[in-house]
Structure 1
Amino acid sequence: MDKRYKPVSVPEQVRQRVALLESITNQPGMSLTQAVRELRTGLRLTVPEYAKLTKVAIRTIHDIEAGKANPSLATANKLLAPFGLMLGVVKPQGDRHESS
């Protein structure tokens, strides 16, 4: 856990994690870049800690968060899996174009 933050109790950690996951799942159009950064910072993980948790290279996480990488589906799902999430396809809100 990032040492810049004051430790919180276990019940508070659980509350924060539930709120974070609700926030992310309530935004189905969120980009992978945003989701990865919000998960990592919301859980107060450093990039090396997140890399160890997900088994994704530190450099890859830095590049994804900076919007410089285009990760494979497998890598994207590795970054989301520890939180019970996976990458999906959604129809943009307000999209009036329907397929024939």
Structure 2
Amino acid sequence: MDLIEIGRIVNERRLMLRLRQEDLSEMSEVNMKTIQQIESGKGNPSLLTLSKLFEILGLDIRVVVKQTE
């Protein structure tokens, strides 16, 4: 998953929940400019920032260990 796809998911989920970027910013305590950058695929958010946003949006972050050959 790349940053553009993460931004698309955040944007779609926010709209589904009928939240404005301003609402998500206030609820998550993440700067609105950061949210704008993430949604446009231009931001490089930390795991902590994504965790805050995903918590509000009802999304999970999962880490999967790849099989080695």
State the TM bucket, normalised to the shorter chain. Answer: 0.7 to 0.9
Percentage of matched positions with identical amino acids: 36
Partner of 2:36: 62
Instruction: Judge conservation of contact 1:54–1:82 (CA < 8 Å) in 2.
Output: yes
The aligned length equals: 67
Structure 1 residues 84, 43: CA separation in 2 closer, same or farther (over 3 Å shift)? closer
TM-score, normalised relative to structure 1: 0.57
Max radius of gyration: which structure? Answer: 1
**Paired letter, 1:99:** T
By percentage of residues, which structure has more helix? 2
74-83 or 61-70: bigger deviation:
74-83
Mark the runs of 5 or more structure 2 residues left unpaired by the alignment.
none
Q: Which of 1 and 2 has higher RCO (CA within 8 Å, sep 6+)? A: 2
Following superposition, the deviation at residue 56 of structure 1 comes to: 0.5
Q: Could you state the TM-score of these two structures normalised by the residue count of structure 2?
A: 0.79
